[in-house]
Each structure stands twice: as C-alpha cells, then as structure tokens.
Chains A and B, each alone.
Chain A
Amino acid sequence: MRIRLRFTKLGKIRFTSQRDVARMWERALRRAELPLAYTAGFSPRPQLSFGLALPTGCESLAEYLDVVLDDHRPETAAVEVSALPARLTDLLPEGIDVEEVAPVDRRADSLQQQVTSCSWTMRVSGVTRHQLEEQVASLLAAPTVPIVRERKGREELDDLRPSVLALAVSDDPAPGSDHVGPARPSSVGVVAELATQPRGVRPVELVRGLVAVSGPSPEGTSVGMTLDSGNNVGTPVLDRACRTQQWIERDGARQEPLQRRGHLAGADRATHALERAS
C-alpha cells in the first residue's frame, strides 16, 4: 500500500535540509512501528519518496511524502490511516505537522514527476513597496530574464522568465504568512507561482531575477547580502519564503496532490489573488 502524507515545515526547523527531513521521517516512521516496505539488498532502506526538495531556510505549508507499506505483513491492512496525522506529528520535531494523509495508487507517477508548479509567499527587504512593484512589472514585461544559476557545482546562465507563472506584490495575509514573520519592519510581501519543470525555481533565484531586471549589472548581487549596498534602485533581499502549495495537473485542472481540509477557502482566495502572468 502506498500512502501520501502532507506536512508543514515551519519555524526553526526550516534551517534543516531536505536530507535532514528525510532522516527525521525515517526515524519517526520506525517509532510509529508502521509496517514499512524495505528495499532489497545489503543495505535495506524504507521505501520513501519525497516530492520536490524545499531549499534549506524556506518554510512550507505543503510538503509531501509517499510511504510504501509492506503488503505481505498482516499489520498493513490494520493500519488506521486517518489516525496517522496526529500519531506522526507527535513523533516529529516541532514545526513539522502532518495535516493530511490518504492512500494513493501504487502505480501513480511520483510526486516529482506530477508536480508542475509551486506557489510561494515571500518577504523581501532592501526595497520600498513602490520599487518592488516596478521591478515585478519589469520582470513580467521582459521577454527573457537571464540569471546565473548553479547546476552540479557549475554556474550557468539560464532564462528565468518562462518559469515565472505569476508574480505580484501583496501584503494580503496569504496562508502561511503568519509563519513567515518576524519579518524586518520594512519588508514587502510577494506572492509567486513558479514552475517546477524541467527545473524548479527557488525563491532566491526569483529575487535574483528581480535584481537582474532592475539594475544595469546583475554581477555581484546576491541574496542574503547586506542591505546597505548603497544602491538607489533598491536591491531586494529575501528575508523569508514559504511554499504554500504544490500543484499537479489532473484532467486539465490544477489541483494539489492532497487537499488541506479546512484550509481550502483561504488557499483558494490567495491563489486567485495572484495576477496570472502567462
């Protein structure tokens, strides 16, 4: 049996890496004594598959994990799926809350293959709201936005523009924004939808794109650098970022891999507030 779990990554725990989170999950699942299916071979590992990696330092309201249970074990049929969120949340570090769980088709595509885009809320400082609005407009109007991205240890030039599906300055209390603080008092809110195929775009890369369209030289600017760069144009610096949704296409419609019950209304409102850019 394959089950899919939806969970958060909020607060201090955001400083752990995707790999760290995977190991936390392995330990939690063993503590829950779930009848996990293991890989064969000299070094058996539980069969877990995570979706799109979340960059270290980013928060999330929409992380997913697929777990395969061993159908040959009698306990598997007895697993009470609906009780898992509460049970697993207790075994995971603070900030990782399991919110949904559901069985999925074993043969379905992996999360990594299915997810086509992600929605983000961000806080950016170093610029005024007005400056940022101009930068967002320039980026959306630009035919191409070349940015330097690191790939397998090498830096290469890549066009960011096709991956930016939506982008807007927004101080709306988007879902997750209560977790995105405490932001710098001067920070401005951004909402974005970024494509994940063929390569996922990270929030820092989006901000790099904003820098690229706003200044004459993208060289020497990086996210996280100090604010007082003496730049009159205003160099945006990413303070916080939170992934609010991951999206899959099903029957021509966009939906989440697992709906977050009770949060549906808020999520929809925020999504529709986005200015569709493509």
Chain B
Amino acid sequence: MTQYQRSGSAPAGARMARQMECLWPRVESLLSQVTKPARYIGGELGAQAPEHRPDAVSWLLIYPDTYEIGLPNQGLQILYEILNERPDAVAERAYAPWVDMEAAMRAAGLPLFSLENHLPARAFDVLAFNLSAELVYTNVLNLIDLSEVPVHRSARAPGDPIVVAGGHCAFNPEPLADFVDCFVLGDGEEAVSEINEVLAGVKARAPNGDDQTGALASRETLMRALSQVPGVYVPWCYEPSYQPRGERRHAPHEERPAVARLAATTPRFPETPERVEKRTIADLGEWPYPRQQLVPLIEVVHDRLNVELFRGCTRGCRFCQAGMITRPVRERPADQVRTMVREGLARTGYDEVALTSLSSADYSGIEDTVTSIIDDPSCSGQVSVSLPSLRVDAFTVGTAAQIQRVRRTGLTFAPEGGTWRMRQVINKLIREEDLYAAVDAAFSQGWRRVKLYFLIGLPTETDEDTLGIVELAKQCVAIGRRYHKGVTVTASVGGFVPKVQTPFQWFGQNTIEELNRKVHLIRDAARPVRGLTIRWHDPKATAAEGIVSRGDRRMGAVIEQVWRRGGTFQEWTEHFDLELWTDALADQGMSLEDAVYRHRSEHEALPWDHLSAGLHRDFLWQDWVDALAQHGLEDCRWTPCYDCGACTGFGIEHVVASAVPPAGGSQGTGQDLSTGGQVPVRFLPTVPSGAVSASGSNQGAAVRVGVGRS
C-alpha cells in the first residue's frame, strides 16, 4: 500500500498534516458491486502519476458529472497539464461516482478519491470544479460532502481544502456563493497559475500552526489575497444587499414583489475590486493544450482526438452565452492545428479528430485544414474529421466533400429559429437559402441523415415562428428525397433558458405550460411528414435550469435543499425531479413565477452586475432593444467594431488568419463582406508557424493576417 505522508501544513496554516493514504484496496473491494467499474480505476493514456511534495500545491480537478461525460472535458484537461507542468503544483482528477458507487462508498465510509493515486479528496489543498451546466450544481454540493469537507464555506476549518470553481456557469456564481470559496471567470490558463502562486506562497510561509485562531485568520487573509488575482471572484469578499420589500424604486407599475429585490452586491474590503473582470488569453497559439489528451479505457462521449481551432465567436447570436462570454475570436495558427492533429493521432491511436470551436466552419481556411489532415500520409487515409459546430452559411459542398471522405460522421446544423423574423430577433442571421444549400450539399455528398437544432420559447416568438421549424425541416426532407428515398431529418427542439451576460438576460423564460404547448404544436404539424423526427428537451428540466441560471445568492438554499432530499444527477432524465425544485423554492418563499418567468427591467440590479465578461451593460441592453426591434447585427470580425467591450476593455483583438469571411458568410444581411480587408487592421508579414507563438505577445491590437485563405 502506497502511503504519502505530507510533512508540511495545510495552506491556511493548519496544524493538520494530512495523511495521504492510498484508498485503492478499499475502492477495489467495492467494484464488483457496481456498474461500469472501470470508471473508478484511472490508468488512462495521458494520465499522470504526480508525486505529492510538501512544497507543491495539490489540486483535485473535479467534473461534477459521470466519468463518461466529464473525461473528455478539454478545460479540465488543459488545467491538469498546466498544473502538473509546474514545479510547485500537482493535479489529479475525480468525477462524480454514479449513484450505485456513491451508495457503496457511503456504506463503506469511503470518501471521494482521486483517480491517479486514489487519494482521499480531503487530502488535497484545492478542490476545483468545472461548471458547465446548471443542473450539476447539486452534484457539486454532493461531491464536497463526499469529500468530507463542510458544504458551507463558512463552516470550513483552516485545514480544509479551498473549493474553487470555473467554467461557463461561473459567470453567475451567486447560487453557489455559499459553498464555493472562489470562482474563476473566463480563460483559466493563466489564472490557475496565479492562484497556485498565491497558495504556494501561503504554504511556504505557513506557521506550524498551533494557534487555531491565527490559522482561521490566515484563511481569511488567503481569501483576501485570492480576491486580488484578476478574474478571481471571492464571494466572501462581497455582500449582497436587498431592497425593502415594499419599496417600488425601479418599477412603479410592478406589484409588490414576493421576494425582496436585490439592491446591490458590494465589496466588503477597501482593496476588493468593485467589479471582477474575466480573464482572456490573448493568443491561443501560446497554449497548445492539451498536449497529452487523455485516452479513456472505456467509451466516453466525444471519444476522439479534439483540437481546438479557435476560441470565441462574434457571430453575435443573442441567446448564446458561450458566444458572448468568450469574445474576442482567437484562432489557433493553422500550422499548429495540423501539428496538434498529426502528433495527437500518432500518440493516441484515434481514427477520428474533431476540430472544435463555437462555429468551426468560420475558421480561416477550414477546407484547406481539413484536406491537409485527410491527405496527411501518416494518417493512412483512415482518419475522419468532424466539425461539431457548423454554421449553415459557412458549410459548402467543398467542406462536405472533404469531411465525408473517410467515414461519414453525423451532420448537425443549428438554424435555432423557424422563421427569418425569429432569426433576426436572435441574430442568427442565416437565410433559408443558406440552410437549404447546406443541406443540399450534405445530401448530395451522400449523407442520409441530418440533424437540426432549434430553440423554442425565444423572445417575441409567435406560433408562426414555432411552426416555421416544421416548415424548414419539411423542406430539408424534400431536398434529401431528390438524392435518396430513405433520408431522415431529425429536428431537436430545446426550450430557451435566458443566460447571464447576454442580451436576453432580461427576458422572462417561457412557462412549462407554454413550452409544452409549443412542443405539441410542432409534433402535431410534423406527424404527417415522412422522414421527419422530432425530439424535444423536457420543459420541466428547462424550468429547473432557469431557476439556477439567473438566481441570486438566496438560491443557494434551494440548491442545498434539493441536494439534501436526494436530488443529484439532475441532468439525467431518470433522476431529474422538478418537484424537488419547486418544493424547495416554495420553502424558501420563492416561486418559478418570480425567479424564472419574470422579465427583468432595465435598471433592476442583477446578481451578476459586479462581474464582467467584458461586455458593457449598455451594449447588452442596446442589443436587447435591437432584438425586440428585429434588428440584426453583423459579425464584428469582418465589419467595424460595435464596442461591446470585450476587446477594448482588455487591449486585445480578434486574432484571425484571414480578414475575409468564409464562403456564404453574408449573415443574410445582403452586405458584401468580401470587403473585409477594408476593416481598419494592421497587416503583419506572414510568419512561419514556429515564430507565431513566440511573437504572439507583442502583436498589439492587430489582426494577424496569414496565408490561409479559402
């Protein structure tokens, strides 16, 4: 049995020298009782075997969903490598044990453990969670509890680990503010190291810690130190205040609210920043991670090599939180993409690579990149390429022909709205012709099945818009029939959940009844259409997501109650239970009506006003007003700046290899975007790929123009 004995003290200076005892024999004895036991053994290709040292900060990176969902997460893998490359850090991983394993673990008194060394979670300095969906929040609480760490941050003792969270949902951290010590907003590549430096500094200075009071004070000192790291939000350093319930300051026409409205969230200490700004890495080329992508022993989702083409998206779809919070666009140099693909395939043995981003077909020279991967002799002609997110207006016959050469992977397009009017409101400016051309390209190249994604419950939506979904899908089936009799089109319909830091953050979500009504409209209209399948997301789950999505700090009590009553794995249909959520809301004096369905007014204090994704609040409000006026906005990558704030605020800019939009990228505006070169940019001499990353830091505010043009 391996034993890790740490002689140093805990980061906050506690006396406790944590025994790092390998739990494997105890884990092993449970595995014959559980499903998919290989979830708990580790040993993947790319897994590290870090050696714990007293002077190194130890991180347990936790994905709060099952192994199969969590393992492929690229964000977690990137941080895992960055931390393990540091001499003063070690990182291991954990995922949420499935319900059968959790029951076995609790019965045996076995805590959450890491997969590398099978160490107890409590033995780590940091428990770091990835928040990629709202419904996993109850799992976060459960995993903290399973780690034998107090769920409430206020109850944590000096020797307890620091609980950190990051990921897209961290942009509205308030519902988890009572449970998480600090959040990281935006890109984690740099922030994780800066946090590590703070913790390593505290560790080095930590007294032997006989004095508990001193130790407690030092945990507070630590929190205040962490709040000074740019992009790090420490909830303890901020205090929300609420308006008296009778007051009608902002909305005189409104009735007295059932729940006191938030007045403001303000810093408690003089040095605490009033507003926490997200972190943005300027040059993706400097971060060619993951270098050693994990290859799981069991089948997981997205089980393939993943290479990130670019980060950020400026198409400006108003419902899309990812597009709003990850601006500006930062492309990875094409040569680096090719290198990462070639080396990644050789190292992993995968025969499929996904070129990931928020809209992969927008990558400068995407066709050339795909072709060069498929034609690479080292791939022996057996490697397939998939582009997980395709905009229809950038998907051409050429791209279709390339990606189907080896193996046809699924093709999914996301028109999102059923009518042009609807798509103007949400600023997904793709014309019907664009969609039909893309679908035609796909079917003509031999695809038999196409999937379409739509949202219902969007602002200003009418039944005509809803039924437009069926019309579009019907036309797609008809196009497919020209090429093959047996084509199928699947339309997936999801209920819209307004997200923070988007123009729709003020919108009152559709009720469950309204979403159900729309689902039925669609199903009825689609029934006679042969070859068309409708799938829909449960409107009840949509409502639960809405509860958490824009909740304030008081929502923590609701999440806690749902968890305490057994509501884990709420992302999973078989475990989701809306009643747990509505009961908890009622017990806290809240309601779906107020928390989810209510439109917010322009001057209402929002629980995330003290946090920033770079986007100015007035830009978002103007975009919301434009949306209601059905006014679309072009992509600022190829047109002049709207001053949303994402670039100017940080002194960075889009990094694209081509200032010309991809074929068909007119965004339906009819505007000739081939004049993209007239955008005021500074052209840089083309540099060889090796020099790109080295020169990345002094590029200033220029668009980098490279060789790749499609």
Contacts and interface: CB of A to CB of B under 8 A. Distances in A.
B349 A27 contact: yes
Interface string A14-38: 0111011001101111110100001
B627 interface: no
A57 B346 contact: no
B41 A15 contact: yes
A165 interface: no
Given A43-B407, A56-B37, A93-B43, A24 B25 contact: no
Contacts of A13: 41, 43, 297
A16 B37 CA distance: 7
A12 B41 contact: yes
A23 B349 CA distance: 10
Contacts of A38: 382
Contact of A31 (B31, B38, B346): B346
B348 A27 contact: yes
A262 interface: no
A256 interface: no
A16 B349 contact: no
Contacts of A56: 37-38
Nearest to B348: A27
Nearest to B295: A27
A20 B299 contact: yes
B32 interface: yes
B117 to A, nearest CB: 13
A16 B31 contact: no
Contact of B33 (A17, A44, A93, A224): A224
B350 interface: yes
B408 interface: yes
A12 B37 CA distance: 10
A148 interface: no
Nearest to A24: B297
B349 A91 contact: yes
Interface in A36-64: 38, 42-44, 56-57
A182 interface: yes
B38 A30 contact: no
Contacts of B40: 15
Contacts of A182: 25
A94 B25 CA distance: 17
A37 to B, nearest CB: 12
Interface in B292-343: 295, 297-299
Given A16-B38, A57-B32, A42 B297 contact: no
A16 B351 contact: no
A96 to B, nearest CB: 10
A59 B295 CA distance: 22
Given A44-B407, A56-B37, A93 B297 contact: yes
Interface string B12-46: 00000000000001001001110001101111010
B517 interface: no
Given A20-B38, A44-B407, A93-B45, A15 B349 contact: no
Contacts of B346: 31
A28 B350 CA distance: 9
Contacts of A23: 299
Given A27-B295, A224-B32, A42 B37 contact: no
Nearest to B446: A42
Contacts of B106: none
B68 to A, nearest CB: 12
A42 B407 contact: yes
Nearest to B41: A12
Contacts of B25: 182
Interface in B351-388: 351, 380, 382
Interface residues of B, number: 27
Contact of A20 (B297, B348, B408): B297
B38 A15 contact: yes
Contacts of A31: 346-349
A57 B32 CA distance: 7
Given A44-B407, A56-B37, A57-B31, A16 B295 contact: no
A20 B37 contact: no
A184 to B, nearest CB: 9
A117 B134 CA distance: 52
Contact of B298 (A16, A28, A94): A16
A27 B294 CA distance: 13
A83 to B, nearest CB: 18
Interface in B542-558: none
Contacts of A43: 407-408
Contact of B408 (A16, A17, A29, A42): A42
Nearest to B27: A12
Contacts of B407: 42-44
A30 B297 contact: no
A6 to B, nearest CB: 21
A121 to B, nearest CB: 17
A43 B33 CA distance: 36
A27 B382 CA distance: 12
Nearest to A21: B297
A27 B38 CA distance: 18
A94 B406 CA distance: 32
Interface string B105-117: 0000000000000
B491 to A, nearest CB: 24
Contacts of A24: 297
With a 10 A CB-CB cut-off, give which of A28, A29, A31 has the most chain B CB atoms. Answer: A31
Nearest to A240: B32
A34 to B, nearest CB: 10
B67 to A, nearest CB: 12
Contacts of A19: 299
B350 A17 contact: no
Interface string B613-626: 00000000000000
Nearest to A238: B32
Nearest to A95: B43
With a 10 A CB-CB cut-off, give which of B40, B43, B407 has the most chain A CB atoms. Answer: B43
Contact of B31 (A15, A29, A33): A15
B351 A30 contact: yes
A162 B382 CA distance: 46
B349 A26 contact: yes
Given A17-B298, A56-B37, A94 B43 contact: yes
A23 B299 CA distance: 9
B350 A27 contact: yes
With a 10 A CB-CB cut-off, give which of A13, A29, A30, A224 has the most chain B CB atoms. Answer: A30
Contacts of B299: 19-20, 23
A243 B25 CA distance: 22
Contacts of A27: 295, 348-350
With a 10 A CB-CB cut-off, give which of B31, B32, B37 has the most chain A CB atoms. Answer: B32
With a 10 A CB-CB cut-off, give which of A12, A28, A93 has the most chain B CB atoms. Answer: A12
Contacts of A91: 349
B43 to A, nearest CB: 6
A16 B382 contact: no
A27 B43 CA distance: 15
A181 to B, nearest CB: 11
Given A27-B348, A91-B349, A15 B295 contact: no
Contacts of A93: 43, 45, 297
Nearest to B383: A30
B403 to A, nearest CB: 13
Nearest to A56: B37
Nearest to B296: A20
A15 B297 CA distance: 10
| 3 smallest beta-carbon distances between A and B, as pairs | A27-B349, A15-B37, A31-B349
13 contacts: A15-B31, A16-B297, A17-B298, A26-B349, A26-B351, A27-B295, A27-B348, A29-B349, A30-B350, A31-B346, A31-B348, A57-B31, A182-B25
Given A27-B295, A93-B297, A224-B32, 20 more contacts: A12-B41, A13-B43, A13-B297, A17-B38, A17-B298, A23-B299, A26-B349, A26-B351, A27-B349, A27-B350, A28-B349, A30-B349, A30-B351, A30-B382, A31-B347, A33-B380, A44-B406, A44-B407, A57-B37, A224-B33
